[in-house]
Chains A and B, each alone.
Chain A
Amino acid sequence: MSDFSTPPYLLQQGTSVRRVMVQVLLALLPGIAAYVWLIGPGIVVQLGLATLAALAGEALVLGLRRKPLALFLSDGSAIVTAWLIALSFPPLAPWWLIVVGTLFAVIVGKHLYGGLGQNPFNPAMLAFAACIVSFPALMSQWPTLGLQLGFAEQLKMIAGLAPRVDVMSGATPLDALKTALKLSNGSVDVPTLLATQDVFGNFAGRGWEWVASAYLLGGLWLWQRKLISWHAPFGFIAGLSSLALLLWGWNPQQFANPVFHLFSGGALLGAFFIVTDPVSGCTTPKGKLIFGLLAGLLAYIIRVFGGFPDGIAFAVLLLNLCVPLIDMYSQPPIFGLKDEP
């Protein structure tokens, strides 16, 4: 049974999809370690649940489509999708939420479009969007920091055996900032909020800032291994932080600084692991840069002015729609010709 080779436009040649996916999973490990250490071990359960659900969904559809099970199940792409879903969902969400999200991603997001390499939308972001639209309350319940729950208690909560409401009053740092600004109606400014509220740490959300830093570390490793090119992450970070810088420079009382935005929410996870998706993202170097830039701008607009806790998922999905257009207008010149393609 032969293995898949990667598409010719990837930088590292002569590898298989499996090797790429394993390295992406390795690059996620620092982030997961920081997550377990600072936020709680519940995420391990979610990662396991998502992986099982992804493999089960994949096996089901492969069986229906009469495709070779072992070849596709071992390529690791479903596991990458599963891990990205688990990392973007609230860590103490009930078990069925992540199972539903992952099954939706694998079955509707990936296989209904033709399976590996055929999906126009990022499956993980599709799962996030479907779930946040369907279950907004559950998707916005993040554990309050300082909530010291043992592993057993976290497990009980994920299994749905423990009551949720009284301990799950937390919001993401982004949400906390947005809500505080809205409630105060101009009487509180961002620097005071960042300095006084417990949710915020040194430069972004308490705890979350280090998780994001670990994602950055993993992403840089991927770049150094030449598994991703610099274009998409750079574009995304540039898009997000330039708009943040502009608004922060204009009114630092009402808008948080670019560093806060970069290290909050899913920004760095998105920059290195989601906009770099070789299937649903652009393929040309210039296209990747444009894709990242626009996704970053949109993500900022949605997360700051929109009603949802974070904007990465919707920004990426909207840009996924534009990929064929961007690719068409960003073809590199043919070798030997000067400018015109």
Chain B
Amino acid sequence: MIDREQFRQILDNGVWHQNASLIQLLGLCPLLAVTTTLVNGVMLSLATIIVMAVANVAVASLRNLIPHEIRIPVFILVVAALVTVVDLIFNAYFHELYLVLGIFIPLIVTNCIVLARVEAFANKNPPLQSLLDGVFMGIGLLWTLALLGGLRELIGGGTLFAGIDMVFPGVHGLQLLPADYPGFLLAVLPPGAFILLGLLIAWKNWAEARAAARKPDAGSDHRSPLPVADGV
């Protein structure tokens, strides 16, 4: 089925080495538009994780039946069906959040990460590996979106977990900075998202360079080539 080394590699690629937001730079549109708060970022990531995991399993199971020439339309159909399900679930159970996230839930269909993983991984690997790949890629997305959303929220308004009552009624967000904190609005606006994303990428490169410097020969042995896809 799956050996330890394979599992570790899928985990490593999804969460760190081929992180969708920091390395592949896929799905920048929701990244920039939705991560104004931590809750928004996390919830959109969760929706994407569900879609990616199920889509990967579905495509991996059907991969020998899908004609190569029309595989992209088939992938899109599978993903679109799943996104519709997630969209309806959000509308039914987290209606306020659904209104906040708005168009970005339906737009998961066009999110490059989903299509990139289906095309680059699920189309060539068995279902179990594909499931893990979808989940770990999603977790990679989750922590970057959570970090970015948290930073933007904290710098922009001095709060954390604002709007959590949309998910857990009765729970309130934290006001971390004093109430008269004026709020650095730039962080909440798209330029702030670009600047903070740039800083996160720089931080990741710095961390990797430091790690590489510490053990010089264990460099890029376990990295597979990057899947090619357009960034949206």
Which of A133, A135, A138 is within 8 Å of B189, CB to CB?
Answer: A133
A100 interfacial contact with B, CB 8 Å: yes
Complex Cα distance, B157 from A135, in Å, reads 12
Q: Is A130 an interface residue (CB 8 A)?
A: yes
Q: Please, how many angstroms separate the alpha-carbon atoms of A133 and B185 in the complex?
A: 7
Contacts of A247 in B (CB 8 A): none
Nearest residue, chain A, Cβ from B155: A134
| A108 adjacent to chain B (CB < 8 Å) | yes
Please tell me if B103 contacts chain A, counting CB pairs below 8 Å.
no
Whether the Cβ atoms of B195 and A133 lie closer than 8 Å is no
Q: How many Å from the CB of A121 to the closest CB on chain B?
A: 12
Assembly CA distance A135 to B182 (angstroms): 8
Using Cβ atoms and an 8 Å threshold, which residues of chain B touch A108? 195
Chain B min CB distance to A61 (Å): 13
Give A103-114 as 1s and 0s: 1 = Cβ < 8 Å from B's Cβ atoms: 000001000100
Q: How far is the CB of B85 from chain A (nearest CB, A)?
A: 39
Tell me whether B186 is interfacial, beta carbon within 8 Å. yes
Closest to A97 in B: B182
The docked-state distance in angstroms from the alpha carbon of A133 to that of B187 is 10
- Chain A contact residues: over half helix, strand or loop, or mixed? helix
Chain A residues with Cβ below 8 Å from B126 are none
Residues of A within 8 A of B198 (CB): 112
Query: Do the beta carbons of A134 and B185 come within 8 Å of each other?
Result: yes
Query: Which among A112, A130, A134 is the interface contact of B183 at CB below 8 angstroms?
Result: A134
Contacts of A112 in B (CB 8 A): 198
| Cβ-based interface call for B90 (8 A) | no
Q: Which of B178-204 contact A (CB under 8 A)?
A: 182-186, 189, 195, 198
A100 engages B184 (CB within 8 Å): yes
Determine how close the nearest CB of chain A comes to the CB of B197; give it in whole angstroms.
13
* B residues near A133, Cβ cutoff 8 Å: 185-186, 189
What's the minimum C-beta distance from A159 to chain B, rounded to whole angstroms? 15
Complex contact A134–B184 (CB within 8 A): yes
CA distance A130 to B195 in the complex (A): 12
Q: Is the Cβ of A134 less than 8 Å from the Cβ of B195?
A: no
A118 to B150, CA, bound (A): 31
Report A116-147 residues with CB < 8 Å from chain B CB: 130, 133-135, 138
Contact between B186 and A130, CB atoms less than 8 A apart? yes
Taking each of A108, A112, A130, A134, which has the highest tally of chain B beta carbons within 10 Å of its own beta carbon?
A134
Interface, chain B (partner A; CB < 8 A): 182-186, 189, 195, 198
Apart from the given pairs A108-B195, A135-B182, 5 other A-B contacts in the complex at a CB distance below 8 Å:
A100-B184, A130-B186, A134-B183, A135-B185, A138-B182
Can you sample 12 A-B contacts with CB below 8 Å?
A108-B195, A112-B198, A130-B186, A133-B185, A133-B186, A134-B183, A134-B184, A134-B185, A134-B186, A135-B182, A135-B185, A138-B182
